[in-house]
Structure 1
Amino acid sequence: MNSEFIIFGLTCVVLAVLAVGAILVPLWRGPSDEAAEDTDIDIYRDQLLEVDRDLARGVLDEAEAERTRTEVSRRLLTADSNARAAATRAPQRVSHAVALALAAALIAGAGGLYWELGAAGYGDVPRATRIAIAEERRANRPSQLEKEAESPEFDSISLAEPETAEILQALRAAAFERAEEVQAWAYLAQVEASVGNMQRAARAQERTIALLGDAVTEADYVRLLDFLVIGTQGYVSPEAETITVRILQNNPESTPALYYAGLLYAQNDRPDRAFNFWRNVVENGEKDTMYWDFAAGQISDVAAQLGMDYALPEQRGPSNADLEAAEDMTPEERQQMIQGMVGQLADRLASEGGPPQDWARLISSLAVLGENDTALTVLNEAETIFGADIQAVQIVRRAAQEAGLIE
């Protein structure tokens, strides 16, 4: 048993004693001493008699005596009322039983909560230490082939439709007979994946990419990423990470690569980085893709680990009804409608703020309307607001560049 655990245990005991004491002491003391209350009543009665004696001796006149009697009588009634209230209090044994029951419930409740939520003996883990542990875990995690070996894949050709199985057999033979033919391996990868042989599909796709050389495209790498990750039940291996980095180097806004980068860090205890990647996906990525759906479904979990209450960005912009109505408008009416929508967006951002995509949309819209000076003012304001968020600043600046406002 280490010293940290002993200190923690003593601290818990002291806090428990203080909390129990705060409950026990008032209930344990019971009612005030009845003898003291009787003494007050006797004193007030003696004072009434003393008033009569002072009146008889001429020390007090009739008016002063009456005022004194009234005040002393009031105090006497108060003391008598207090004595009656004390007589109706709960018996001492009942108070003691209630106090003990509350103390036991407090200790049991605190112990139960710690048993459920606590971690006895778990030491302090500063942020820098957690990051170092996460990076070490990421650096030493299993390779793609090691992870695949943990869950060997059953050849699903026997479960495929007869025609598909025949095609797959022919493609396997063709790929090995014509080992340098790119198309044979590309077709083989697709058909292997279609029957659920993701590990076999990954090997065929790797061969395809090797044969393509400089002609390889982002889509080829994304297809390989899908096969690698699905083939290991969602695990992002070092090999998959290398491909992800390569895609992002060429296309920093690639939705599939951003998703897999976020998944990598989510699996290695880095919710901060996972959140940043997935936030880019859900706020700026291609919707109606599985990568967007996956990121949208998981970003709340990593946000909760960071103590954030993140909500997916709302769909903003003209509705279908607005677009249909615009078709019947004159150019002047259509221009007024656009200006109204831009004005509403500007008002909302000024009062409530919003994600960088909304600021970028406002900058682009103002530029389309020819209000370049206003668009530049909005750009400066957005850069001030998102100054510490490099990705957000890049989004608004890209909108300004595309609108021809800045170089």
Structure 2
Amino acid sequence: MIFVLICGALVLLVGLALLKPLWRAAPGAGKRMTDIDIYRDQLAEVDRDLARGVLDKAEAERTRTEVSRRLLQADAAARKGAVDAPPRGSRIAAGLAGLAIVAGAVGLYATLGNFGYGDVPRAVRLAAAEERRATRPGQLEAEALAEQPDAIAQAGDETREILQALRAAAFERPTDATAYVYLAQVEASIGNMTRAARAQEKAISLLGEDVTSADLVRLLDFLVIGTRGYVSPEAETIARNILRDEPDNLPAQYYMGLVNAQNDRPDRAFSFWRPIVENGEQDVFHWRLAAGQIEDVAAQLGIDYALPSRRGPSAEDLAAAEDMAPEDRQAMVEGMVQQLSDRLATEGGPPQDWARLITALTVLGEEDRARAILNEAELTFGGDVQAVTLIREAARAAELIE
């Protein structure tokens, strides 16, 4: 109620300030009326001076004539001021304008605000965020809620044969960690993330003290991708364990920032992601994920944050090239495509370069060639779910695939 009263008072004051000129008389009208009174007093004074003998008749007549002339001018000015005063139509317009101000203020708050919403102190918000985080669904529950594609049906005949062979090998050698590592990679390559996560968990349990942070990061990727980007308590625990041994581990930092962003703690998410985007290796999949979200969490904190400049040509660079002259744009993009094609054909390269090549080909309008490059890249990085996801993300951004 206090908030409503304050807003109402502010609207009233603003309305009065805007509408007052429409209601008041023309400036100077009061002063003109005072001049008339003065000149009338002067005429009376001339008569008194004439009676007392201070002025003779000729001089009194001249003075009376001059004062009368000024009196007539003052009266004419007063009449003109009365005509300049706002007529009834102006005051009606002023009333309508006042109603419009009030209606506009109420309508704007109804759109952007929330009537009846009580105060939510920072301590209350933090407590609610912690409670939501503590009671959020577990990994298996989240996987059950996420839609899982029919990965086997979409896989090719050769991939299905390999997958069946690896499943059989893992079943026959239940203590062989390597069999489960390979199985997890192939399951992930066809998008079967839940099975990939189970196989990777089995591999980690068999590796024991030989498990590496790379093994744990791979499991983290499988768990989060399998729940459509949701970070479960189990995934958070893994990320915490990685950071305990490797405080600068970029993937674990990203997932810790993501779990905070998902639970109304943009402040913590920003503190995890800022070192990633400013100091991390930009060719890493998790860097791109953090870079794509940090500006949003910064905006929630009221921080005007801009990403540091990225290495190499980006999709934004290609979009900016569309404003160039057609010949210059064509030459620039074709040169980029040729350089990338030559290097990838002879030396290979990271998934980011394949993604740039797909984007450049799409800009050139060579969609068939871009699809061929996409298929080749998926075959090249088939066992690396991070690389395949990055490449497909670039193809989707270029509207090459849905």
- TM-score normalised per structure 1: 0.67
Please show how residues 1-400 of structure 1 align to structure 2 within 5 Å. Answer: 6-23=1-18, 27-28=22-23, 40-41=35-36, 43-45=38-40, 47-48=42-43, 50-51=45-46, 54=49, 59=54, 77=73, 80-91=76-87, 93-314=88-309
1:224-255 CA deviation, whole Å, 9 max, x = no partner?
11111111110010011011001111111111
* Stretch moving more, 216-225 or 79-88: 79-88
1:270 & 1:85 partners in 2: Cα distance? 64
Aligned to 1:355: none
1:187 & 1:35 partners in 2: Cα distance? 96
Residues 1:171 and 1:74: Cα distance change in structure 2 (over 3 Å): farther
CA contact 2:231–2:255 (8 Å) conserved in 1:
yes
Residues 1:76 and 1:221: Cα distance change in structure 2 (over 3 Å): farther
List alignment gaps of at least 5 residues for structure 1.
1-5, 317-407
Aligned to 1:387: none
Residues 1:233 and 1:65: Cα distance change in structure 2 (over 3 Å): farther
CA contact 2:276–2:290 (8 Å) conserved in 1:
yes
* Stretch moving more, 166-175 or 19-28: 19-28
- TM-score normalised per structure 2: 0.68
CA deviation after TM superposition for structure 1 residue 33, in Å: 12
CA deviation after TM superposition for structure 1 residue 199, in Å: 1.1
Residues 1:242 and 1:162: Cα distance change in structure 2 (over 3 Å): same
CA deviation after TM superposition for structure 1 residue 18, in Å: 4.6
CA deviation after TM superposition for structure 1 residue 101, in Å: 1.1
2:244 & 2:64 partners in 1: Cα distance? 97
Residues 1:224 and 1:34: Cα distance change in structure 2 (over 3 Å): closer
CA deviation after TM superposition for structure 1 residue 29, in Å: 5.3
* RCO higher in structure (CA 8 A, sep ≥6): 2
CA deviation after TM superposition for structure 1 residue 156, in Å: 0.6
CA deviation after TM superposition for structure 1 residue 51, in Å: 4.0
SS in 2 for 1:311: coil
1:382-404 CA deviation, whole Å, 9 max, x = no partner?
xxxxxxxxxxxxxxxxxxxxxxx
Q: Residue 85 of structure 1 aligns to which amino acid in structure 2?
A: G
2:64 & 2:172 partners in 1: Cα distance? 124
Over aligned residues, Cα RMSD in angstroms? 3.4
1:99-128 CA deviation, whole Å, 9 max, x = no partner?
221111111111111111111222111111
CA deviation after TM superposition for structure 1 residue 96, in Å: 2.1
1:248-282 CA deviation, whole Å, 9 max, x = no partner?
11111111111111111000000110000000111
CA deviation after TM superposition for structure 1 residue 166, in Å: 1.0
1:41 & 1:273 partners in 2: Cα distance? 75
Aligned to 1:402: none
CA deviation after TM superposition for structure 1 residue 315, in Å: 6.6
Aligned residue pairs total 310
2:239 & 2:50 partners in 1: Cα distance? 106
CA deviation after TM superposition for structure 1 residue 175, in Å: 1.0
CA deviation after TM superposition for structure 1 residue 163, in Å: 0.7
